[in-house]
Amino acid sequence: MKKWRVKAIRGGSISADKSGCTHYRNFGVKLEMPIWFVAATNGDLKVLVDTGMKDLDWVVKSGAEPFAHQTAEEETPAALKSAMGWEPDEVDVVINTHLHYDHCGYNAAFGNAAIYLQRKEYEAAFDATPGLRHLYAARYFDKRAVPYFRWKLLDGEELIAPGLLVFPTPGHSHGHQSVLFDAGEGAVCVTGDVAALAENIYENIETNIVVDAGKVYESFETIRRRADFIIPGHEPGIANLSECGFPTVG
């Protein structure tokens, strides 16, 4: 079976207090947190995990994230072209870990890709509770962005291709999923935001954006059991364009 080449690509950043990612611990510790998306190929398929943040002006002014930053070079199509040489219409598969604004902003740009998502997440995104509604911008995932029949809505774990598995990791959102690649150095898990930082896994501590804390800890255990390495959604310890040396899972 062919191994997957996996690359972490920076699509902007968020200046934040670390306490927002460690359940109110670490007050006053400032972090510049990357917004990661991941490109992967086995030599046949071109796969994108999450499509990043779009419309920085809206993100800042709407209050979705007042301290977000993004250069033109970090916008997903430009960053992907620079990192992989891929045009958007060359991407075969997009996998959204969840539908918060910084993980699905450029879904519409990948018009030839099948887009994989848990059905629970799709349904919850249109009916978010008031406290979470600012994280969901329907124009990135409704029928204006992605015609309904282009979605591949999943009801649990799914093998997308040999060595490419998606599995539910709820807790951060109702239908959150993570992605596992059989890569050269071992099993690499793109955790999305159920673990925004490696510290969430290491210290067994949830982020502040949680819909079900119990599910978060179950998701941590599933990731620990399956993965050798992790790419958390906003881990600052990963270097841009890394293909190896990701945080290990102890």
pTM listed for this prediction: 0.97
Pairing status of strand 114-118 against strand 151-154: parallel
Distance CA 102, CA 41 (A): 22
The structural domains of the chain, ordered by start, are: 5-232 (3.60.15.10)
How far is residue 61 from each of residues 55, 57, 66, 100, 184, measured CA to CA in Å?
10, 6, 7, 16, 42
Each residue of 25-55: pLDDT tens digit? 999 999 999 999 999 999 999 999 999 999 9
Each residue of 175-231: pLDDT tens digit? 999 999 999 999 999 999 999 999 999 999 999 999 999 999 999 999 999 999 999
How far is residue 12 from each of residues 53, 71, 88, 112, 241, measured CA to CA in Å?
7, 7, 18, 24, 13
Each residue of 129-151: pLDDT tens digit? 999 999 999 999 999 999 999 99
